[in-house]
Chains A and B, each alone.
Chain A
């Protein structure tokens, strides 16, 4: 409890402490009335609950106190201690409810803003490949050249694959956002095996060397699906953002389990990331390059997943020579 002998002192206290819950003020003070003081602070410091204390009970000062001072309670002198007690208690409850409401409102506003952006982008990423395919179909129908038609079909296939990836990413986004963690003992050697199998055709076709080293001597507990989602996103980026003409493309995955924490490193010698972009790459729908297809969803999902697992991610990259992502996940 802090006390002040004048309105100015009271204001000074409010300036210094932003956690004041209730302000009780006498109506009759030197220089300023309680109502005037409340009228001022209801604008500059609106959150504390205001109570006016007064020996005068003329109707006009009551009306002023309510209309201009926006007070919560009007307490007449002499007061009963129980009255003050209950007034403060109710004032406190009112304060808590109001500030909770304000926080919720703020969160809602943010959620709506995000939803707007989300809808805009989802419309784009779903409609854009569809419209491309429509345009391509029209060309294919008019063409009599079988090779050209085959080219068009191949491009249509890529376009539809990109659309499919996008839909899977949206699904992933909601799975992460709403899903419960399923903690189990995770063997990174078996994850590595399935990854190698999954990318076998691709790395052969694109002629990329894929090295995996797993160093796991202890058991590690986490959500396997989420870890696989992270690895898949980072690896598919590493494979995708290669330099096309590079004769010795490589991607490496290195996992170290040590003292209950997993350190995962994914390295490539691809096109790299511009240093001005590294802060942005984890943002929703952000794409740092137009050199390759992408929805700007993958790394956003990765960082969302890591938040859920209390993990973190670091990136170091040199444009033109490659990128290293380092992920740290604490075991459960």
Chain B
């Protein structure tokens, strides 16, 4: 079943190149109403905290790197779970996007309620489309 809906995308990655790649792939899916990239988790969190629910046009899909300085992906999720209102959380789908092949990272990812999928870099269009579809149904 084809998804007609569009989404706001947020990419959180400290690598400029990885932000660029994710942005392109998101564009290629044709599902983006908007794409925002943040190179620091704290900036992305501040942005989400500033969102007022009534203003929210689309559901938000986040692609989140794990290994980042100052605030890593897991720390971002912890802060997200603590500070974002439940109503808003329901509109947001967080996916880890990492080059990590470390099993402990995958196991840790499963322990967070708000992490939907653990995606491997390099990302491609089909995997991203599948993820969106699975989240919807």
Contact = CB atoms under 8 A, between A and B. Distances in A.
Q: Are A and B a genuine interacting pair, yes or no?
A: yes
Interface residues of A, number: 28
Contacts of B123: 135
A148 B15 CA distance: 18
A245 interface: no
Interface in B1-51: 14-18, 20-21, 24-25, 39-40
Nearest to B104: A120
A290 B69 contact: yes
Given A132-B18, A138-B124, A296 B69 contact: yes
Contact of B17 (A138, A159, A294): A159
A131 B99 contact: yes
B122 A135 contact: yes
A318 interface: no
B70 A289 contact: yes
B17 A132 contact: yes
Nearest to A135: B122
B17 A131 contact: no
Given A131-B122, A135-B123, A288 B15 contact: no
A174 to B, nearest CB: 23
B71 to A, nearest CB: 8
A159 B99 CA distance: 14
Nearest to B102: A120
A139 B100 contact: no
Main SS class of interface, A? helix
A35 interface: no
Nearest to A148: B24
Nearest to A125: B67
A286 B68 CA distance: 10
A291 B39 contact: yes
Given A123-B101, A124-B99, A124-B100, A135 B18 contact: yes
Contacts of B68: 290
Contacts of A155: 16-17, 20
Contacts of A289: 69-70
Name, among B17, B40, B122, the residue most crowded by chain A CB atoms within 10 Å (CB to CB): B17
B69 A134 contact: no
A234 interface: no
B119 to A, nearest CB: 12
A138 B122 contact: yes
A158 interface: yes
Contact of B39 (A158, A159, A290): A290
Given A124-B67, A135-B18, 17 more contacts: A123-B100, A123-B102, A124-B100, A127-B100, A129-B15, A132-B17, A132-B21, A132-B122, A135-B21, A135-B122, A135-B123, A136-B17, A136-B20, A139-B24, A155-B20, A159-B15, A291-B40
